[in-house]
Every structure is written in C-alpha cells, then in structure tokens.
Amino acid sequence: MTNRSLLILPGDGIGPEVMAEVRKIIDWFGTRGLAFHVSEDLVGGAAYDAHGTPLHDDTMAKAQEVDAVLLGAVGGPKYDVLDFSVKPERGLLRLRKEMDLFANLRPAQCFDALADFSSLKKEVVSGLDIMIVRELTSGVYFGEPRGIHVEGNERVGINTQRYTESEIDRVARAAFDLARKRDGRLCSMEKANVMESGILWREVVQAVGDKDYPDVELSHMYADAGAMQLTRWPKQFDVIVTDNLFGDLLSDLAAMLTGSLGMLPSASLGAPMENGRPKALYEPVHGSAPDIAGQGKANPIACILSFAMALRYSFDLGAEAGRLEKAVEDVLADGLRTADLLGKEGATPVSTAEMGDAIVTKL
C-alpha cells in the first residue's frame, strides 16, 4: 500500500479532459515504483448536477483526509442562473476555507519558447519568474457581516475586509520561506494609505521580517502601484505577498503577462497534517473554458504542472517534479502546441491527449 493519497476533482468544462492527461503522468510514475492512491469525485457544476450542491459533504470529508487534492476547473454558463449559495465557485471556496489553505502560490513564469504570446514586449517578459503568494482563507472573501439588506428605501450591499495578526503572520512566513529558497526578495502589497487592515498587514509583515527573516530583503508597495509596476517591469520582483482580493487581481495580471495561461499551475497550502505534509490543493490557473470543452483543444500543461507542484510541496519529490517540468519544456522546445498556443511559425499542432502522451514519452 502506498502512503501517498490524491483526490482528483476534475470539475467542469475542460477540467475532465486536462485531468485525463494528468492521470497518464500519475500512471507513468506508478509503473516506475512511485505509486499514488488516487480517488476521484465531483466538484462545481458537476457536483451540483449530481447532488444539488457544488461540493458534497462526503467529498469535503475525503478532501480533508488525503495528502493532496488536484482540481481541474469549475463553472460554466449553464450555472450562471443558480443562486449565489450553490454556484460552482462555492465548492472551490468551501474547499479552501474548510481545509484552511491560507497560502496560495501562484508562479508566473514565462517559457522562452512562448514569450511571443505575451502582449508585452519580449524583453519585458522573457525569463520572467516571479511567485505571488496570495492569502486565501480570509479577507473580504469570508469576512462577516456580509450580504444585501434594505436600509430606508433602498438596498445596500456589504462585505467585510478583516484580517487578524495571526492570519497575516502565517501567510507572511510562507512567503518569506519561499523568498529564502529563491532570490531572497519579498515585496508586500496592500493599501495602507487608505485601509486600516492594510496598515495592520504592513506592520505584521514587517515585524515577521525583522524578527525571523533579516536575511530576506523586504519592501512594501501600495497595491495600485504594484499593478503598475507588474505591468511596467515585472522582473523587478521575486516573491510578492498580498491579501485575498488584491491577490486575486494581481496574480491574474501576473499570469497574463506571460501570455500563456494554459501553462500556469497553482498550489494552495495549509498547515502541516499529522504526517507532516501540508493540507494542499493544486489547480491550474485557467478556468473551465466551456467554449472549447470536449473538443481536444485544451492545453493540459497547466494541470500537469500543478501535479508537479504536488510532487514538490506535498510529497517532497523535488527531483521528480523537476523531471516532469523538464519533460514539459522539452515538448515545447520540440514545437508541440495545443490550440491555445498556435499561430506562430514552426509549430506542430497537437490535441490535448497528444500533448499528454508526448510528455509521458519525454519522461
């Protein structure tokens, strides 16, 4: 019996097809003596269709038990009419919250072979390699009070941005730890000039740095200036740490700089479990892309690289992660391109499945 357990939640749209390719990679590792115990379940619209809820309690319980959850994507136009409380996104948000996955790691890396796909000039993005650490379980996403109520003769919509010192402290530490393993620089972003929660954010991050990470070069930037600087010259950054809502925008912005969303993985990590592994969920940055679902056009690489992050962060298999990442680079260097990456000369168009097979072959 293996002691590596994975729960796969393919979700909606292109989720199932990209996940099928990850399965091939997992199988390949299995035949090489690195077995994973894999179970599969529903999330998002798929779960709603089956159970009337975007995440069944049984699935939630399973997610709490495994070493890592691998999620495809959720959502689709079919579910737009649903009530807020049962929308596909709620399934994902529930996983994040109940597993307490406070640190969302969003690498924005520009693959040299693909730099042309960026809307930015080549010299601005080629070689780009930054990491955004987004707080994922607090802030305005979860703060109370919230809702729409009537005041006088009109409705009022309310949400609450709320951060405790310990919530800021733990995500700051996750970011400092990463900076230490990378280029040793951390930039924290908030709106301390306007928001008291931003003042507390800045103070706590500074205190953590002063006390326990004097070797990491820490800077602070207002989030609006951060959006500007990411656009102007993103290579100035190494690791960025920011809150849930700013992180949502800034990590998507950073992802788009690279020009190829179909390539970008993410990891969401929580506290260590009894076996020492962190609670963890891995998912591609791209969405469910319902417009191309089921046509073999989806790029499975973001989901495959999310599994590589699982190898590294959940199973301490850094060498194997590197091997998988190298295989991806190699197929790209060979010119293999799924539909999202076509349009440049010298490319060999491949389907979702062909891309998965090619990566297995490289392994």
Ligand X SMILES: CC(C)[C@H](C(=O)O)[C@@H](O)C(=O)O
Residues that bind a copy of itself (CB under 8 A): 84, 87, 89, 93, 119-121, 124, 140-141, 143, 146-148, 151, 154-166, 191, 193-201, 223-225, 227-228, 231-233, 245-246, 248-250, 252-253, 255-257, 261
337 φ/ψ angles, rounded to the nearest 5 degrees:
-140, 130
Shortest Å distance, C-beta 245 to a copy of itself = 7
Regarding 248 and contact with ligand X (CB under 6 A), the answer is yes
Q: Is 248 an annotated catalytic residue?
A: yes
Q: What does the DSSP 8-state code read for residue 210?
A: H
The one catalytic residue among 67, 163, 191, 213:
191
Residues 6+ apart with CB under 8 A from 179: 185, 186, 213, 216, 238, 239
Q: Is 210 an annotated catalytic residue?
A: no
One character per residue 258-287, x = contact with ligand X (rule: CB under 6 A): ------------------------------
Q: Is 139 left (phi over 0), alpha (psi -120 to 50) or beta?
A: left
Rounded CA-CA distance 15/24 in Å is: 15
Rounded CA-CA distance 27/19 in Å is: 12
Q: What angle do CA 148, 154, 158 make, to 5 degrees?
A: 30
Identity of residue 271 = A
> Within positions 156 to 195, which residues make up the interface with ligand X, using CB under 6 A?
193-194
210 φ/ψ angles, rounded to the nearest 5 degrees:
-60, -40
Question: Is 80 marked as binding a ligand?
Answer: yes
Residue 50 or residue 194: which is nearer to ligand X going by CB? 194
Which of a copy of itself, ligand X, none sits in contact with 48, Cβ below 5 to 8 A by type? none
Question: Is 235 marked as binding a ligand?
Answer: no
Question: Is 114 marked as binding a ligand?
Answer: no
Shortest Å distance, C-beta 259 to a copy of itself = 8
Q: Is 191 an annotated catalytic residue?
A: yes
Residue 290 or residue 335: which is nearer to ligand X going by CB? 290
Regarding 89 and contact with ligand X (CB under 6 A), the answer is yes
On the question of a cis peptide bond just before residue 145, with omega within 30 degrees of 0, the verdict is yes
Helix 318-333 vs helix 301-313: crossing angle, to nearest 10: 160
Regarding 98 and contact with ligand X (CB under 6 A), the answer is no
184 φ/ψ angles, rounded to the nearest 5 degrees:
75, 20
Shortest Å distance, C-beta 52 to ligand X = 20
Tokens of 269: 């990590």
Question: Which residues are identified as catalytic?
Answer: 141, 191, 224, 248, 252
Q: Which residues bind ligand X (CB under 6 A)?
A: 89, 92-93, 193-194, 224, 248
Residue ranges at the known binding site for NAD(+): 76-89, 287-299
